[in-house]
Amino acid sequence: MKLATQNTVKTLGDYAYQGIEKHFKKTLKWEKSVKKDEDPEALHQMRVGMRRLRTTVTSFGLAVDVPKPVSDKNIGKIARRLGNLRDLDVLKESLENDYKPNLPCKEQESLKTAFNALAKQRQDVLLSVQKTLKDECYKSLKDALDKWLEKPSYQPLASFTIQQILPDLLFPEVSNFLLHPGWLVGTKFVESEVIIQKDWKPEKIEKQLTTEGEIIHSLRKEAKRLRYQMELFTDLYGESYAAYLTEVKNIQEILGTMQDSAVLTDWLTDVFKSEIKTELPTLATLLTENRYQSWQKWQPLQERYLKVETKHSFHLTILHPLSGVLS
C-alpha cells in the first residue's frame, strides 16, 4: 500500500499507517545514541517515540492487523525499561538544578551520598536497557514493523473514512479520563454534589498525597494516554479541541510534578535510611512547598473538569471535527 500524502489521508487505515511509521522511525533514529549512552535527550526522545508508538498501535488496533511481536505488551515492556533509565536522569536533573543550588553547604555536601547512589543505580539500569535493545523481543518488534510497513495488513474497519469513525475512536479514552477516581481526591459529596475542599494547609495536603498518591499518579497516566491519542488528530479539529488538548497536557504535567516530588522524597528516604527531614531539612521543606504549589495549580483544573458543562463541551468538541473533514 502506498502511504497517502498529508492532504489525501482519508481512511482510518491511512491514519494508522502514518502514525505507526512516524513513531517507529523516531524510535529508530535515537537507538544508536541510547545504546552508547551519549545524550540524555536521545533517551528521552526514544522513550517518547516508543510510548507514542504504543498509543498508536493500541488506538488503531481495530483497524490494523499487525504481527504478534507488535503487541501492547511487548512495546510496553521496552518503553518501561527506557522509562526506568529516563526517570533516574530526571531525578538527577531535578536534584542538581531545582534543589541543590537552594540548599545550605552542609546539605549540599550530604547530597554527594545521593548522587553516588544515583550513579551506581543508573549504571545497573543502563546495562538493563542496553541488554533490552539487543535481545530478541526488541529485534522481533523491529523486524515485524519493518515488514508490516513494507506490506501492511488491515482489518475491515480500516476502510472507513476518518470522519465516519473519529468521535467513536476518541470517546472511550475521553470517558476513561473523565470518569477516573483521581478527580475525587480531596473532595466530598454533599447531597450528590461534589465539593472541592480548599484552603488546606501543607500538612493536610501531604497526608492526602501519602494515602491517595497512587490514584493521582494513575490519573496522570490516563491524561498522558488521552493526550497522545488526541495529538494523532490535531489536524482534524479546531481551536476548541486544541484548548482541551492543552489542558489535558497541563493536567498531566502538574500531576507529574507532584508525583516526581513524591518519588524523589521516597528515593532519598531509602538512600539515607531515615526521614529526609533529619538529613536534609531544607530540602524536605522545599519538596513539601513544591507539592503545595502544584496542588494549588491542580485544584482549579479539578474543579473545572468536575463540572457537567465542561464534560458536555468536551464531548461536543469531539463530535464536531472541522467541516472540511466532513465534506
Predicted confidence at residue 1, as pLDDT, reads 44
**With contact defined as beta carbons under 8 Å apart, do 318 and 174 qualify?**
yes
**pLDDT > 60? residue 267:** yes
The stretch 95-102 carries a mean pLDDT of 94
Distance CA 53, CA 44 (A): 14
Q: 179-215, pLDDT tens digit by residue?
A: 999 999 999 999 889 999 998 998 999 999 889 989 9
**pLDDT > 50? residue 22:** yes
Distance CA 75, CA 60 (A): 15
Residue 273: pLDDT band (50, 70, 90) is confident
**pLDDT > 50? residue 146:** yes
The stretch 278-302 carries a mean pLDDT of 94
How high is the mean pLDDT of the chain?
92
Least confident piece of the model among 116-125, 268-277, 304-313: 268-277
Written as nine digits, the cell of 317 is 468538541
Q: Which residues fall within 8 angstroms of residue 89, CB to CB, at 6 or more apart?
A: 40, 43, 44, 122
Q: 51-69, pLDDT tens digit by residue?
A: 999 999 999 999 999 999 9
Q: Which residue has the cell 492487523?
A: 65
Distance CA 264, CA 226 (A): 26
Written as nine digits, the cell of 308 is 457537567
Predicted confidence at residue 9, as pLDDT, reads 55
* CATH superfamily entry for domain 12-156: CHAD domain (1.40.20.10)
Give domain limits for the chain: 12-156, 163-319
Distance CA 130, CA 132 (A): 5
- In the chain, the percentage of residues whose pLDDT exceeds 70 is 96
